[in-house]
Structure 1
Amino acid sequence: MAKLTERVKVTAPQAAPLRDAKVSVVIPTYNYGHFLPQSVGSVLAQEGVDVEVIVVDDCSTDDTPLVAGNMAATDPRVVYAPNAENHGPCVAFNDGLARVTGDFVVRLDADDLLTPGSLSRAVQLFQQYPEVGLVYGHPLHFHSETPPEPRTDVESWTIWSGEDWIAERARLGVNCITTPEAIVRRSVYDEVGPWDPRMRYACDMEAWMRAAAVSDVGRIDGADQAFHREHGGSLSVNAGSGRLLDLRERRTAFNALFEGPGGKLPRAAELHETALRSLAVEALESACHAYDRGLTDNEPIDEYEAFALETYAKTKQLPQWRMLVRRRKVGAKLAPYMPPFAAGVVSRRLRNDARYRRWVRQGV
């Protein structure tokens, strides 16, 4: 399999017949009963594959039991699985994963939806490439009550070796999959195990990398594979209780990966060090950004520095460390007015914009 910089892009077969396939969609939910008809309905409307929907009610206090119970009573493809106590989103997914009977597994949040045809598009890739264990595509984010019209035409498929895909995650240090657009072979979960409960927000990122440690990764190019709803009560919104928390979660994800199946990869030590370096760099750049924008009273500068030092042994050899030292010497009051520091703000913005455009096009 080619390196990531020479990734394999192939033409997707048009309307190739699907062999018998069953997809299990696990929907963990907590007090999202009002979203369930849309999310479950988007699964039941999928064509070309058999589906089962496992709704894991994580001890909701709203009308979730009534809504989910009624759907299970009226459609045999829906399974209602209530928890007697709240387990949290990661463990709740594992509760559903233990019940799946399909060949492929999707984790769908109760406020998200699948796009029409997304499962058949993914299964088609899986069946053409048996070595691929994880398939994903572009998620369409929306804020309205009704999702926008999705793209459904596939332009191509991109296939990476799992190790090369992990190498790109280590180089950038961030997740590139929202969650509902990803589908994993059940046999891969059988091999690598369920989601790691040590993380609350990054367990999905670690799960995708763990899948890539034992299989190749495919992406559906051109089509929107899922809808991700943005709203005030969303966990993905409220999880942003701080970049520092996010950095710590991602560090745990990388450490868990390389403690597990990722540790068997030929370049495991190199990739692990690259990931830790990326996270340390991000922490230091966050501190520098706070100086450049006059936000030192609002950002945990000392904590960013401490995180970098405890994460990467060579932190003080990084250029970003020297950049932070210079800003500390200048001081918080003068730093925003220094031309070299102001140029850093523009440079970071341009770099982030370029990364976003690349993610939209290539998914990495």
Structure 2
Amino acid sequence: MSSVDVIVPCYRYGHFLRECIESVLAQTEVEVRALIIDDASPDNSGEVGEALSRENRRVSCIHHAVNKGHITTYNEGIEWVEADYYILLSADDYLLPGALGRSARLMDAHPAMGLSFGQAITRMEGEAANLVPSSGDGWRVLSGSEFIRVSGAKNIVPTPTAVVRTSLQKRLGGYRVELPHSGDMEMWLRLAAHGDVGILDQYQAVYRLHAANMSARYYASQYLPDLQQRKAAADCFLDTCSDILPDAGHMHRRLIELLARETVGFASSAFNAGELDLSRQLSEFARELDPAVVRSGRWMKLAFKRCVGTELWNMMRSPMQRMRSRARHEG
């Protein structure tokens, strides 16, 4: 029977922690252990973690005297893991029944696979999880290069579903402190450069969306910091994987081109919202990423919008949206 270690970073999520850990202990077909890392939470996370560790010998709990941040906490957990596979599971998320068994079976059958992931259900704050039936029982295996092409300049892996082969992770090292908001994206690219990636059709975990999410607070602070971090992740991928993948340079250029196009799209959205300074910053960043983006259709559309001005563009925009909507319904 394969084994899976589960790292559970926790900061101010004491009220979610028991549900998270119980979902881990209920997993079948694998041997599991869980490590709760309380990062100096000001709530009752430490007390809940200690109670859970007393109740079940498979659960351990450690506490930080001062807050060390999520990257340091993740890496501390990676040093602890010993099982065949491991997963990072935030204390506010939880696994669905059989998730780890499905992942382990797939990875057992494909020794070259360094990473597997599935789908996640989003649970909104104050609502019960919409536990829809599984989307299927299939799976796909992508080569690392295929995964990098499919993912592009985005993080397509729901973190609470990502199971990693421990031996490969130990060889490649942990998360990078210089990438606090795109560390996951860089990690999946790095793992993919060294192994295959499995994609399960099933729902594997529930991602809880609420006001206290670190990612929600970050992305709400405008587009630019996220785009800059994704650029840094792509650059880090090139620096660390160019000796492994013969076409890493081409892959990097493709990631940057896609990111530039996406940035122009955000600049256009900011223009529509009347955030003209943000739109200008985003378009300048897009051109820095890829000077050729100025020949794209997105850039030309944004240039036209700027020529006509926000007031006239928004007057033109509503009729065009109605026409597109009518065409979709009639089609």
Give the TM-score, by structure 1 length.
0.83
Aligned with 1:204 (options 184, 188, 196): 184
- The secondary structure found in structure 2 opposite 1:87 is coil
RMSD of the TM alignment (CA)? 2.3
- The secondary structure found in structure 2 opposite 1:139 is strand
Provide the C-alpha distance between the structure 2 equivalents of 1:133 and 1:151, rounded to a whole number of angstroms: 27
Aligned residues: 324
Q: Which runs of 5+ in 2 are unaligned?
A: none
Q: 1:214 is matched with which residue?
A: 194
Q: 1:72 is matched with which residue?
A: 53
Q: 1:164 is matched with which residue?
A: 146
Provide the C-alpha distance between the structure 2 equivalents of 1:254 and 1:342, rounded to a whole number of angstroms: 36
Q: CA deviation at 1:155?
A: 2.1
Q: CA deviation at 1:327?
A: 1.9
Provide the C-alpha distance between the structure 1 equivalents of 2:66 and 2:322, rounded to a whole number of angstroms: 48
Provide the C-alpha distance between the structure 1 equivalents of 2:268 and 2:322, rounded to a whole number of angstroms: 9
Looking at secondary structure, tell me which structure has more helix per residue: 2
- The secondary structure found in structure 2 opposite 1:326 is helix
Deviations 1:309-348 (A, max 9, x none): 222243333333322222222122212233699469969x
Q: CA deviation at 1:126?
A: 0.6
Q: Which letter maps to 1:35?
A: F
Does residue 87 in structure 1 map to residue 65 in structure 2? no
Provide the C-alpha distance between the structure 2 equivalents of 1:114 and 1:331, rounded to a whole number of angstroms: 49
Q: CA deviation at 1:63?
A: 0.9
Q: 2:96 is matched with which residue?
A: 115
Q: CA deviation at 1:140?
A: 0.8
Superposed, 1:107-186 pairs within 5 Å as: 107-143=88-124, 144=126, 146-149=128-131, 151=133, 154-170=136-152, 173-186=153-166
- The secondary structure found in structure 1 opposite 2:159 is coil
Q: Which letter maps to 1:161?
A: S
The 1:81–1:298 alpha-carbon spacing in structure 2 relative to 1, beyond 3 Å, is: farther
Does residue 273 in structure 1 map to residue 260 in structure 2? no
- The secondary structure found in structure 2 opposite 1:43 is helix
Does residue 104 in structure 1 map to residue 82 in structure 2? no
Higher mean C-alpha deviation, range 203-212 or range 260-269 = 260-269
Matched-pair contact (CA < 8 Å) for 1:21–1:50? yes
The 1:267–1:342 alpha-carbon spacing in structure 2 relative to 1, beyond 3 Å, is: farther
Provide the C-alpha distance between the structure 2 equivalents of 1:345 and 1:178, rounded to a whole number of angstroms: 36
Matched-pair contact (CA < 8 Å) for 2:7–2:87? yes
Higher mean C-alpha deviation, range 306-315 or range 127-136 = 306-315
The 1:345–1:229 alpha-carbon spacing in structure 2 relative to 1, beyond 3 Å, is: farther
Q: Which letter maps to 1:70?
A: A
Matched-pair contact (CA < 8 Å) for 1:336–1:342? no
Matched-pair contact (CA < 8 Å) for 2:121–2:131? no
Matched-pair contact (CA < 8 Å) for 2:194–2:244? no
Matched-pair contact (CA < 8 Å) for 2:242–2:249? no
Does residue 38 in structure 1 map to residue 16 in structure 2? no
Q: 2:278 is matched with which residue?
A: 300
- The secondary structure found in structure 2 opposite 1:239 is helix
Provide the C-alpha distance between the structure 1 equivalents of 2:260 and 2:135, rounded to a whole number of angstroms: 40
Provide the C-alpha distance between the structure 2 equivalents of 1:151 and 1:343, rounded to a whole number of angstroms: 35
Q: 1:328 is matched with which residue?
A: 306
Provide the C-alpha distance between the structure 2 equivalents of 1:218 and 1:111, rounded to a whole number of angstroms: 25
Deviations 1:6-38 (A, max 9, x none): xxxxxxxxxxxxxx2110110111111111100
Higher mean C-alpha deviation, range 242-251 or range 139-148 = 139-148
Deviations 1:257-277 (A, max 9, x none): 111125531221111111111
Give the TM-score, by structure 2 length.
0.91
Q: Which letter maps to 2:146?
A: D
Provide the C-alpha distance between the structure 2 equivalents of 1:263 and 1:243, rounded to a whole number of angstroms: 32
Of all paired residues, the percent bearing the same amino acid is 31
Aligned with 2:264 (options 260, 264, 284): 284
Q: CA deviation at 1:71?
A: 1.4
Matched-pair contact (CA < 8 Å) for 1:33–1:63? yes
Q: 2:218 is matched with which residue?
A: 239
Deviations 1:116-171 (A, max 9, x none): 0000000000111111111111101112464343535852111111111101222x
Matched-pair contact (CA < 8 Å) for 1:192–1:261? no
Provide the C-alpha distance between the structure 1 equivalents of 2:323 and 2:277, rounded to a whole number of angstroms: 16
Provide the C-alpha distance between the structure 1 equivalents of 2:318 and 2:15, rounded to a whole number of angstroms: 51
